[in-house]
Amino acid sequence: MNNIASSSLLPPNASKLERDIEQVITSSLDLPLSIADLWDPFRCPLSLLPWLAWAYSVDQWEDSWPVSVKRQVVNDAFEIHRYKGTPYAVQQALNSLGIKTNIIEWWEPNGSNVRGTMKVNALVKDKGIDLSDLIQITNAITSAKRGVIHAVIRTVFQSSAEINHAATTLSAQITEISYYTLSELNSEGMFSVMAGSFSALTVTVEAISI
């Protein structure tokens, strides 16, 4: 009690309740990191990141996302809200999820020529795409686009690989040993050249329209 009193800023006649409140406030200010880190999407502790996303008004959040995606989504939230309702905001929202996009408005080449529409080509590589990916893409577009815009989502799966050439040699020795005496030694060799090539594959799927 004497130690508490010596470090307290309260007067000696302070009540027990006042001293208890002081201790609660003191412990709450004794944080293991700085306040600036708590507001930084890339330095904020992972356990507190959902609360930072709420403070940044993140529109879309999934606990199953990788940590890198979660931090990027929070980091891009202000930029998306700043340009919300524009194709740029839609692209930023998808980029935050790690999805490359190509947005074509109705008046652009290869557009629909129908006012108030746009095409969103989502380029999906390596892991492919499933229903959860489509839901995330749809939610990202819906939260970032203007309400009057009708968007057609086209998922484009691309796979490519470099041409590889390989060469190898194979040799063998056939030896017959009789009573520890080398009586015959044959050597046969073979040289083979192998070449393989992989061509790019692009599959476009009209997934959903919103």
For the chain, how many structural domains are there in total?
1
Q: Over 24-74, what HEC string results?
A: HHHHHHCCCCCHHHHCCCCCCCHHHHHHHHHHCCCCCCCCCCCHHHHHHHH
Whether 82 maps to a domain, the answer reads yes
Whether 6 maps to a domain, the answer reads no
Whether 166 maps to a domain, the answer reads no
pLDDT at position 161: 52
Whether 79 maps to a domain, the answer reads yes
| pLDDT tens digit sequence for 11-20 | 989 999 999 9
| pLDDT tens digit sequence for 79-93 | 999 999 999 999 999
Whether 151 maps to a domain, the answer reads yes
Provide the residue range defining the domain that includes 133. 39-158
Whether 117 maps to a domain, the answer reads yes
| pLDDT tens digit sequence for 153-195 | 887 776 555 545 555 554 444 444 433 343 443 444 454 444 4
Whether 5 maps to a domain, the answer reads no
pTM over 0.75: no
Whether 30 maps to a domain, the answer reads no
